[in-house]
Structure 1
Amino acid sequence: MPDWHFREVHRVPVKGPTADVMRAVHATTWREAPLARALVALTRADVSAGRRIVPDYLSTMGEVVPCPEDEFLFVGAQSPGDTPRPPGTVLEIVTGCQEPGILKVAMNVRYARGVLSTETRILATDERTRRAFAPYWYLIRAGSGLTRRSMLAAIRRRAQRETRSR
């Protein structure tokens, strides 16, 4: 999503081959990120200790998009309030829908040039939806940031263990 109304980016340096780091992205569990687990548990989401953070949890919020080997990307579409969700797949809605009342979400986890990052972008299809979503975004942003940093730290620890064991 080249355009957005709300954006959050977090980064941590990680040493290791892309394959090791991305293997850690796909394998890190909630048990390894206790702060993230505690914060997300407040939403009543399933954060069982053995459940993987990125492929199991994040992908429940949208549709996983095929990407190069250095990235995990998912997109989501929400129609808050009484707006009916438009027809089509989530990816079709995110890439093509312009109907008012829709929030488009893209979130990735990427490893490039020694940096593991996560970025979230949210685009409202109209000004009313953007204004209605803004208070929620500002309310959850600090907790979301702590969650992301905890998640990235857990992935980094796993990736570095994986690299040392080779």
Structure 2
Amino acid sequence: MLIDKYVPSFHFRERHTLEISAQASDVLRAAINYQPDNDPIIRAAIVIREFPNKIIDRIKGNSLPAKRPFSLRNFTLLEHLENREVVFGLAGRFWQADYGQASLQDTEDFVRFNAHGAARLALNFSVERLGNNRTRLATETRVCCLDLEAKRKFTPYWYLIRPVSGLIRQKMLGSIGRTVTVS
């Protein structure tokens, strides 16, 4: 799998799957284009996650325009195998109120990223043809903390967000499944 290429060793992992009645190419295309804007539970989870940063901005008197909510758009496309798999990357200090996201322009930036006290995260979508026009869609998230400081800070954050993250992934898969079975 492509994710093995970018985050072969990891400290935290989450994986979810769903069988869908649709062609693998359609399923993967829908996964790549997925945006959570229409799901009230996902939107609510993101609003709650971003609330501390909004308070900090207000206390600091930050009058900058509101940031776009966190979504798949924040990730960097690392690699795409047509009709099989896609992997996205993110790097930084995710436990910080503002996500602590490092700026990554491309795959090379992700691979070279090695900041003290930070982590790398890979998110993939893969499809497996099952026959009879059925496809298994899988999503996996892996986090590699780059040093002990990052692991110490990320661990409590992971255990706090993990249940919500799992719910978001399941809702995401369900939404993708509905998109391709309707179209």
Residue 145 (structure 1) aligned with residue 159 (structure 2): no
Give the gaps of 5 or more residues in structure 2.
Answer: 1-6, 51-66, 130-134
Q: What is residue 19 of structure 1 aligned with on the other side?
A: 25
Inter-CA distance 104–15: structure 2 relative to 1 (3 Å threshold): same
8 A contact 1:76–1:90 mirrored in 2: no
Q: Which amino acid aligns with 2:157?
A: Y
Distance verdict in 2 for CA 1:88–1:12, change over 3 Å: closer
Change (3 A) 1:63 1:32: same
CA contact (8 A) 1:77 1:93 kept: no
Q: Does 1:41 align with 2:47?
A: yes
Q: What TM-score do the two structures reach when normalised by structure 2?
A: 0.69
Which residue does the alignment assign to 2:77? 64
Contact 1:77 1:90 (C-alpha < 8 Å) held by counterparts: no
In the aligned structure 1, how far is the partner of 2:103 from the partner of 2:25? 37
Matched residue of 2:21: which SS?
A: coil
* Change in 2 beyond 3 A, CA 1:33/1:88: closer
**What's the counterpart of residue 111 of structure 1?**
127
> For 2:104 and 2:40, how far apart are their aligned partners in 1?
37
Distance of 1:18 and 1:127 partners within structure 2: 40
Per the TM alignment, residue 74 of structure 1 is displaced from its structure 2 partner at its CA by: 1.0
* Distance of 1:26 and 1:88 partners within structure 2: 19
Residue from 49, 74, 91 that aligns with 2:88 = 74
Given that 2:89 and 2:122 are in contact with CA atoms closer than 8 Å, whether structure 1 keeps it comes out as yes
2:145 aligned to which of 105, 112, 124: 124
Over 3 Å counting, the alpha-carbon distance change for 1:90 and 1:137 in structure 2 is farther
Structure 1: which 5+ residue stretches go unaligned?
48-55
- Superposition deviation, residue 106 in structure 1: 0.5
Structure 1 pair 89/11, CA: closer, same or farther in 2 (3 Å)?
same
CA separation in 1, counterparts of 2:146 and 2:30? 35
Identity of aligned residues (%): 31
Aligned Cα RMSD in Å?
Answer: 2.9
Amino acid at match of 1:41: V
